[in-house]
Amino acid sequence: MTKQYHPETLAIHAGQESPDPATNARAVPVYRTTAYNFNNSEHGANLFALKELGNIYSRLMNPTNDILEKRLAALEGGAAGLTLSSGTAAVYFSVRNILRAGDELVSANNLYGGTFTQFDAILPNENIKVHLTPVNDFKAVEKAINAKTRAVFIETIGNPVLDVADVEGYAEIAKKHKLPLIVDSTFTTPFLLRPIDYGANIVIHSLSKWIGGHGTGIGGIVIDDGKFDWKDKKFALYNEPDGGYHGLKYATDLGPLAPLAFILRLRTVGLRNQGPTLAPDAAWIFLQGVESLALRIKKHSENALAVAEHLAKNSKVEWVRYPGLKGDPSYKLAQKYLPNGQGGMVVFGLKGDKDGKKATKFVDNIKLFSLLANVGDAKSLIIHSASTTHSQLSEKAQGEGGLHKDLIRLSVGIEHIDDIIGALDDALKLV
């Protein structure tokens, strides 16, 4: 059905072509089953040999998850998607679906805290070197790429100062070096930016944030554009026989399924043998989120812009960063990549707050905002990043990423804007 409909329509229908064939249930059912009957032995054998695609066991696939995967793949303009147990698992297993020990990754350095730690401390222990480069510094990217590089990684809007990545610029470099570009688009969602339109190959989301949208579940998804050429011999995981799958070579042995090589490998090696599966109950929660995402992300963006403009006018505020704020260092890139809204995140600092004492007082006293480590809830959220989400980073790494002790991070919710601004003003009076 998919392509001819607008995104708002796809968000409600894609992946579910008709009501549940067994029951006529209109909503997507939660298929709470561990396994699926084979019609006969031959059917079972074909499924196991990838000669036929179909349900085997819910660690690898589930009809509820399948609809969510198809829906988000349609929204991103991708060929296929795969849900995983968390956004963190989506990042880790995407990288490990391309890189093996001895390979190298080039990444922007303005990352989500957990991803930064994964790249900075976990992957090096697995003998994968990660070159962290300042966002949009293409000279540094070119310099970091070498014969061992296997992928380039960025976030659309980075942490913590909300710099917008020049996705097209990264895609050009990746393409020139025959490398896949992996883009974590959690902060933008397919309604603000579709990285594949600008040349990205792999798109990742934490479903736990705006897509779920209500702070009610943990999940992740990976979407593949289906166009990257894995036959290049440097991608050993695709060109050497997989001992765990009777010698299958993903780049060359999949026949008509070749465009799905990345997702099929992630399913067979990642989910089947390493097990970071998303429960169908959680997939169902995220399907509810997707259906209203277009409306919510618009409201998040409108409220965040209003908050940023309001804070910028306050004499106690030293600085504000929001990609949609006129004069913001990312404003120009936001005009290009995020014309329909610049997302729900705003960060700012207070005057005379080098040590962050006013910031902690502010977050401890504000009403309405929840003090917690999450983003993308319908509720407004607040946190002091330096002492929490990015506290694992050294002070040097924090500084390089643009994080200073005074930074207050807001995830602006969809409450009435007057109430949100009222809460900020009341808290400002106390500092």
**Residues near ligand PLP (CB under 6 A):** 86-88, 91, 112, 114-115, 155, 184, 186-187, 206, 208-209, 218, 220, 375
Helices (H), 241-376: 261-265, 272-274, 280-312, 331-337, 357-365
Tell me how far, at minimum, the Cβ of 251 lies from ligand PLP, in Å.
Answer: 28
Contact status, residue 324 vs residue 301, Cβ threshold 8 Å: yes
**Phi and psi (nearest 5°) for 351?**
-65, 140
Tell me how far, at minimum, the Cβ of 86 lies from ligand PLP, in Å.
Answer: 3
Tell me how far, at minimum, the Cβ of 51 lies from ligand PLP, in Å.
Answer: 34
Tell me how far, at minimum, the Cβ of 178 lies from ligand PLP, in Å.
Answer: 26
Tell me how far, at minimum, the Cβ of 108 lies from ligand PLP, in Å.
Answer: 12
Tell me how far, at minimum, the Cβ of 355 lies from ligand PLP, in Å.
Answer: 27
Compute how many other C-beta atoms are within 10 angstroms of the C-beta atom of residue 49. Answer: 11
Q: Which is nearer to ligand PLP, 73 or 218 (CB)?
A: 218
CA triplet 304, 158, 303: central angle to 5 degrees?
5
For the sheet containing 408-411, what is the strand order?
317-321, 345-350, 408-411, 381-384, 370-371
Compute how many other C-beta atoms are within 10 angstroms of the C-beta atom of residue 216. Answer: 14
Q: Which is nearer to ligand PLP, 206 or 398 (CB)?
A: 206
Q: Which is nearer to ligand PLP, 58 or 208 (CB)?
A: 208
Give residue number: closest CB to ligand PLP. 87
Q: Residue 83: left (phi > 0), alpha (psi -120 to 50), or beta?
A: beta
Q: Which is nearer to ligand PLP, 163 or 184 (CB)?
A: 184
Q: Which is nearer to ligand PLP, 92 or 245 (CB)?
A: 92
Q: Which is nearer to ligand PLP, 158 or 341 (CB)?
A: 158
Q: Which is nearer to ligand PLP, 221 or 251 (CB)?
A: 221
Q: Dihedral angle at the C-alpha atoms of 102, 255, 55, 14, nearest 10 degrees?
A: 90
- How far is Cα 407 from Cα 22, in angstroms, rounded to an integer? 53
Q: Which is nearer to ligand PLP, 15 or 212 (CB)?
A: 212
Instruction: Please say whether the dihedral angle defined by the alpha carbons of residues 366, 370, 372 and 378, taken in this order, is positive or negative.
Output: negative
Q: Which is nearer to ligand PLP, 94 or 206 (CB)?
A: 206
Tell me how far, at minimum, the Cβ of 375 lies from ligand PLP, in Å.
Answer: 6
Tell me how far, at minimum, the Cβ of 154 lies from ligand PLP, in Å.
Answer: 11
- How far is Cα 6 from Cα 168, in angstroms, rounded to an integer? 23
Tell me how far, at minimum, the Cβ of 181 lies from ligand PLP, in Å.
Answer: 16
- Can you tell me which residue has the tokens 């006529």? 24
Cα–Cα distance list, 120 to 117, 128, 132, 376, 402 (Å): 5, 10, 8, 25, 17
